[in-house]
Every structure is written in structure tokens, then in C-alpha cells.
A and B are shown apart, each in its own frame.
Chain A
Amino acid sequence: MQNNFPNEGMSVIVKTITRFTVWLIFLYGLYIVIHGHLSPGGGFAGGVIVALSYVHLTLAYGKNFVMERVNKFAMNSIEAIAAILIVLTGLVGLYVTGYFLANFMGIGKLYTLISAGYIPMLNIFICVKVGMGLYLVFYYLASFKPQEG
């Protein structure tokens, strides 16, 4: 990755290690989300871990490095879309079964990855929503300049 802001963030050692660990953290977050119905964890924990991987990158490389690669506006939109999808899941449940937010998918076989009806899907939506939202909160709170405005 080309770094246009080499002077921001922490030292070279931290940056080099970050380059490896950030992916590990990110993948661990995804693992937690996908196995939410099998092992401890789920959308919220996984979402926060995904957000933390971004926070990790921001702390090591400085915020401009990250902001060059991700779009705040798009992140906000994705967050809203994930939230809408959760409500729409509820509406599909209402349409199919007559109960708001009811499970409308097959339960599948217990103890397997593809099972538990809509739970894995909702976990993914929640992870996207929580991850995007919390990273943006961190970004705004940490980069708020009291001198402006």
C-alpha cells in the first residue's frame, strides 16, 4: 500500500506490525460473526472487532491514510442500508408467517454452519451496521477540533 502521509501516526515498527495484525483482527471479527450461532459471539461483538481493526489502522497510520481509502459518506449509507435490511427482514417475516420479525427460513441441521434460519443473516447485517457506525463515531470524536466553529 502506498502511504501518502508517512509522517502521521506512530513509528515505522508499529506500522510494519500493524500491516499484519490488522488483517488478523479483521478476519477474527468476521469469524466471530459467521459462527455467531455456534460459538460465543455474534453480530455485536464481531462488528466491534471489525470497527477496532479500522481503529487500529487509524491509530497506527493516522486518519488521513484511512480516509483516503474509505468514504465517510458511503460508510454512512451502508450503515443505513444495513439497518433498513434488518427492518425489511422483519417485514418479510410479517408477510410470510404473519408475525413481525418471525423466522421465515428453514432451520436446517443443528451444529452446522448453514443453519438456524435467519440468524446468520441478521448477524451479518448487525455486524455491518455496528462496525461502520462505531468506526464513524470514533473518527468524529477523535478528530473533532475544538478550534474550529
Chain B
Amino acid sequence: MILYIMCFFLFLVGVYGAITKRDLIKIILAIGIMGYSVNLFLVLLAYRTGALAPILKKGFNVTMVDPIPQALVLTSIVIELGVTALMAALAIRIYQKYDTFDITKIRRLQG
């Protein structure tokens, strides 16, 4: 259980970074941290004590870990990469327009 709570703590560190940081790159990295914590959480759910990776071996019959969360994490890693690339593109364009990554200086829109 402590592992799950640590995982949730890592998640909250990511949330903290994403909502308080003033730097576009730091925000992107914070979202990356949130992604890591969720991925780790899902794989922690799959683990069975003493189990092996879910790959069949000829002639052996062993307990294996739950493959579904691993499949989900595979998808989620790819999605995170997509979001990161898109946000990096946005950040570069914003840098081109404003010459800074600092959102306190950007904020042309109010609200």
C-alpha cells in the first residue's frame, strides 16, 4: 500500500509543478512526471509476487504478471509522447512570438 501512496505522491508532485510553475518547459516536464506516476501505478497493480514477465516459454508453466495494465501503459506512453511533442511545438511558437518561456510575461489573454 505504501508503494501506491508514494505513487500518488509523485502524481501530486507533478500536479504541483504543472499548476505553480511559471515556465512553459517546466510545465511540460511536470506533465511528464504525472505521466510517469500513472504508468508506474498501473504496472504496480499488475505485479504478482514471484511472477515472471508474461512471455510464454516452451515447456514451462509458471505464474505470470497481469498483462492488461502493461498493454494500457504501452498505449499511455505513446500518448504522452504525442502530447509532449505537441506542447513542445506550441512552446517553441510561443517563444518565437514573445521571446520568453515565462508565462507571467506572456499572459496577453486575461482570465
Contact = CB atoms under 8 A, between A and B. Distances in A.
A touching B, CB within 8 angstroms: yes
Interface of A: 39-40, 44, 110-111, 134, 137, 140-141, 144, 146, 149
Contact of B74 (A44, A110, A134, A140): A44
B55 A141 contact: no
Contacts of B58: 111
B56 A110 contact: yes
> Which 10 residue pairs of A and B lie closest in terms of their CB atoms, listed nearest first?
A146-B96, A137-B85, A144-B92, A111-B58, A141-B88, A44-B78, A146-B95, A141-B89, A44-B74, A141-B92
Interface string B22-57: 000000000000000000000000000000010110
A39 B92 CA distance: 39
Contacts of A44: 74, 78
Contacts of B95: 146
Contacts of B96: 144, 146, 149
Contacts of B56: 110-111
Contacts of B81: 134
A44 to B, nearest CB: 6
A141 B85 CA distance: 8
A68 to B, nearest CB: 25
Interface in B60-103: 74, 78, 81, 85, 88-89, 92, 95-96
A141 to B, nearest CB: 6
Nearest to B78: A44
Contacts of A141: 85, 88-89, 92
Given A146-B96, A149-B96, A40 B89 contact: no
B76 to A, nearest CB: 12
A44 B78 CA distance: 8
10 contacts: A39-B55, A40-B53, A40-B55, A44-B78, A110-B56, A141-B89, A144-B92, A144-B96, A146-B95, A146-B96
A146 B74 contact: no
A110 B96 CA distance: 54
A50 to B, nearest CB: 15
Given A40-B53, A140-B89, A144-B92, 18 more contacts: A39-B55, A40-B55, A44-B74, A44-B78, A110-B56, A111-B56, A111-B58, A134-B81, A137-B85, A141-B85, A141-B88, A141-B89, A141-B92, A144-B96, A146-B92, A146-B95, A146-B96, A149-B96
